[in-house]
């Protein structure tokens, strides 16, 4: 059954077109959304002065399986909507200085949380696997995680590793299908729930690859991993217009891994970086400020 993204908006849209009895149901819901999520169908029908079958017809009309399903979806919709409404009420300024301060503090908090929860032994184990791998595959889907998979590839290729990255679910499965024993599959996911990643991890592990997951501890993806790099940074739901700050923690893990892998691949990594720098000189000449690792 196709369901609209917002149940409350659907009720608002169809209310004027409903017959009198069902319109009373819609109006009562909209007048007290939170109260409706806690009331029984019998009490709701009595307050709306309609029959219980009328309430059930209304619930099914907007795509719910019954009144209980309706209340559950209404509660979820209301919780999400209230988050944005409350955020707007907190006087979100468009002035650059306070916005910059909030973003800066949000990033600091995220980095501090990620650093405090770093598992150094797991980092070392993951770096060792990556450094020795026949090939390294970096995977993520969605927003920041897909970008982070690409950034991990960007950090590792310069050490001369055979590394690729993908955010395409079909290609991820295909890469897992041709995995060999000793390959490293590195996954990035904020929630650890995308089924395509979980499936890919299972396929790769079944082929003998080592699965490393930078994700929520205890998540389905984490449970598929041989090496877990837990990342659990609370979201900043007060500032809905800020990007997800978990990516700061992801970047911390990426930089730690790349630094460790670079050290493990010495002296080869240094020679590779030197050759890259020499080649780039032909493009823009000598640049003192250019990072030695780029």
CA Rg, the chain, in Å? Answer: 26
Tell me how far apart the 2 most distant CA atoms of the chain are, in Å. 81
Whether residues 133 and 243 share a domain: the answer is yes
Question: What does pLDDT average to in each consecutive run of 10 residues of the chain (294 residues)?
Answer: 65 91 93 90 93 94 91 83 53 62 83 88 96 96 92 94 96 97 96 95 97 95 95 65 79 95 91 84 69 59
Does 73 map to a domain? yes
- With beta carbons less than 8 A apart as the criterion, state whether 250 and 214 touch: yes
Tokens found for residue 206: 């079944």
Instruction: Determine the length of the chain.
Output: 294
Whether residues 117 and 239 share a domain: the answer is yes
pTM for this predicted structure: 0.68
CATH code for position 147: 3.40.50.10490
Instruction: Report the candidate in 195, 148, 155 with the shortest Cα–Cα distance to residue 172.
Output: 195
Tokens found for residue 194: 């995308």
What pLDDT is recorded for position 240? 54
- With beta carbons less than 8 A apart as the criterion, state whether 245 and 234 touch: no
Does 128 map to a domain? yes
* Cα–Cα–Cα angle for 146, 3, 51, rounded to 5 degrees: 150
What pLDDT is recorded for position 93? 52
CATH code for position 50: 1.10.10.10
Does 140 map to a domain? yes
Tokens found for residue 157: 């290729």
Rounded to an integer, what distance in angstroms lies between the CA atom of residue 106 and that of residue 118? Answer: 18
Does 271 map to a domain? no
* Cα–Cα–Cα angle for 130, 134, 136, rounded to 5 degrees: 50
Residue 61's domain spans which residues?
A: 7-89
- With beta carbons less than 8 A apart as the criterion, state whether 6 and 81 touch: yes
Rounded to 5 degrees, φ, ψ at 240 are -65, -20
Whether residues 122 and 259 share a domain: the answer is yes
Tokens found for residue 235: 């979201």
**DSSP per-residue string spanning the chain:** ----S-HHHHHHHHGGGS-HHHHHHHHHHHH-HHHHTTS-HHHHHHHHTS-HHHHHHHHHHTT-SSHHHHHHHHHHHHHHHHHHHHHHHT-----HHHHHHHHHHHHHHHHHHHHHT--HHHHHHHHHHHHH-S-EEEEE-SSHHHHHHHHHHHHHGGGT--EEEE--HHHHHHHHHT--TT-EEEEE-SSS--HHHHHHHHHHHHTTPEEEEEE-TTSHHHHH-SEEEE------TT-TTSPPTHHHHHHHHHHHHHHHHHHHTTTHHHHHHHHHHHHHHHHH---TTS-TT-
* Cα–Cα–Cα angle for 256, 242, 233, rounded to 5 degrees: 40
What pLDDT is recorded for position 283? 75
Whether residues 138 and 65 share a domain: the answer is no
Rounded to 5 degrees, φ, ψ at 179 are -70, 150
Q: In sequence order, which residues have a C-beta less than 8 Å from that of residue 82 and are 6 or more positions away?
A: none
Domain count, the chain: 2
Whether residues 36 and 147 share a domain: the answer is no
Rounded to 5 degrees, φ, ψ at 228 are -110, 125
Rounded to an integer, what distance in angstroms lies between the CA atom of residue 75 and that of residue 83? Answer: 12
Does 20 map to a domain? yes
């Amino acid at each position: 059954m196709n369901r609209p993204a917002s149940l409350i908006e659907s009720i608002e849209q169809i209310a004027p077109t409903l017959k009198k009895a069902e319109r009373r149901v819609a109006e009562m819901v909209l007048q007290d959304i939170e109260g409706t999520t806690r009331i029984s169908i019998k009490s709701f029908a009595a307050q709306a002065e309609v029959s219980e079958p009328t309430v059930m017809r209304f619930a099914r009309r907007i795509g719910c399986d019954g009144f209980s399903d309706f209340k559950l979806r209404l509660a979820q919709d209301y919780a999400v909507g209230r988050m944005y409404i409350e955020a707007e009420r907190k006087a979100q300024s468009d002035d650059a200085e306070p916005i910059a301060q909030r973003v800066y503090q949000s990033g600091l908090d995220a980095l501090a949380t990620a650093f405090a929860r770093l598992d150094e032994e797991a980092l070392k184990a993951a770096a060792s696997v990556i450094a020795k791998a026949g090939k390294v595959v970096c995977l993520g889907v969605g927003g920041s995680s897909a970008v982070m998979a690409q950034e991990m590839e960007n950090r590792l290729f310069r050490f001369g590793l055979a590394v690729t990255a993908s955010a395409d679910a079909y290609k991820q499965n295909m890469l897992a299908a041709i995995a060999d024993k000793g390959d490293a599959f590195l996954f990035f996911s904020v929630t650890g729930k995308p089924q395509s990643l979980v499936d890919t991890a299972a396929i790769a592990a079944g082929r003998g690859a080592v699965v490393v997951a930078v994700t929520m501890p205890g998540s389905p993806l984490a449970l598929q991993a041989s090496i877990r790099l837990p990342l659990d940074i609370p979201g900043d739901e007060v500032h809905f217009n800020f990007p997800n700050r978990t990516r700061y923690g992801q970047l911390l893990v990426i930089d730690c891994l790349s630094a460790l892998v670079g050290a493990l691949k010495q002296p080869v990594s240094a020679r590779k970086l030197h050759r890259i720098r020499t080649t780039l000189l032909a493009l823009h000449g000598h640049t003192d400020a250019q990072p030695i690792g780029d």
